[in-house]
A and B are shown apart, each in its own frame.
Chain A
Amino acid sequence: SQTIHQWPATLVQPVGSPLSLECTVEGTSNPNLYWYRQAAGRGLQLLFYSVGIGQISSEVPQNLSASRPQDRQFILSSKKLLLSDSGFYLCAWSRRGVLGYTFGSGTRLTVV
């Protein structure tokens, strides 16, 4: 069966510090991978998606970047965090040609 792991679950970081959130998928190959941010427990905003290794598409200009160094690994990064980067970050995967996403359990990031 397929599983998705996302860590850490919670993170408190000072303004100006770097960020690295990691997401890995098991039990499937060549998944589509996504990073979302969810504000105040409401709607989801797509940040990045990837259809393959090294292929990253950005949906909104921001202080964040993403990388996919391996087929089932997706990393969200920042060189210098801003207060506005606080939020609930969700990684998700989908199988090509199949509708529906599977989400990780999320990372609650608080920038102080």
Chain B
Amino acid sequence: TQLLEQSPQFLSIQEGENLTVYCNSSSVFSSLQWYRQEPGEGPVLLVTVVTGGEVKKLKRLTFQFGDARKDSSLHITAAQPGDTGLYLCAGERSAGNNRKLIWGLGTSLAVNP
């Protein structure tokens, strides 16, 4: 059972278009992280959201954490070829001193020039 569903799995768009990718769960997370991974490299942390309803912006990227802290979205404005990569979300669940990170399977984005 995949606890974090990411959609779409694949997305191919033209440079300049806008897009939104989603990360959904039926579970509540204490925080949620977004990473971007390029082929042959490790994931790179983009942002962490903690508070329900929180919105964070990173240049053309806008991240939102759902009010109930069960879902998140990433919106990219005017996508560029450099945005190409695998976007992974990871939710953190805490139980006492035990903190566990649950990973989605990712959205593979291709931005064509």
Q: Which residues of A contact B (CB under 8 A)?
A: 6, 41-46, 90, 92, 99-106, 108
- The interface residues of chain A lying within 8 Å CB-to-CB of B92 are 99
Q: Across the interface, do A103 and B43 meet the contact criterion of CB distance under 8 Å?
A: yes
Q: Across the interface, do B42 and A92 meet the contact criterion of CB distance under 8 Å?
A: yes
Query: Given A42-B106, A44-B103 in contact, is the A106-B39 Cβ separation under 8 Å?
Result: no
Residues 93-112 of chain B, each 1 if its beta carbon lies under 8 Å from chain A, else 0:
00000000101111010000
Q: Is B88 an interface residue (CB 8 A)?
A: yes
Q: Pick the contact of A99 from B43, B44, B48 — CB < 8 Å?
A: B48
User: How many residues of chain B have a CB within 8 Å of chain A?
Assistant: 23
Give bound CA distance, A46 to B100, whole Å: 10
Q: Across the interface, do B41 and A105 meet the contact criterion of CB distance under 8 Å?
A: yes
Q: Across the interface, do B50 and A99 meet the contact criterion of CB distance under 8 Å?
A: yes
Q: Across the interface, do A90 and B42 meet the contact criterion of CB distance under 8 Å?
A: yes
Query: Given A44-B88, A105-B41, A106-B40 in contact, is the A99-B31 Cβ separation under 8 Å?
Result: yes
- The interface residues of chain B lying within 8 Å CB-to-CB of A102 are 45
Q: Across the interface, do B48 and A100 meet the contact criterion of CB distance under 8 Å?
A: yes
6 closest A-B pairs by CB: A103-B42, A43-B105, A99-B48, A100-B45, A44-B103, A42-B105
- The interface residues of chain A lying within 8 Å CB-to-CB of B2 are 43
Give bound CA distance, A80 to B77, whole Å: 48
Q: Across the interface, do A41 and B86 meet the contact criterion of CB distance under 8 Å?
A: yes
Task: Return the chain A residue nearest B42 by Cβ.
Answer: A103
Give bound CA distance, A44 to B31, whole Å: 18
Task: Return the chain A residue nearest B9 by Cβ.
Answer: A42
- The interface residues of chain B lying within 8 Å CB-to-CB of A46 are 101
Of residues A45, A92, A99, which shows the largest number of chain B Cβ atoms within 10 Å of its Cβ? A99
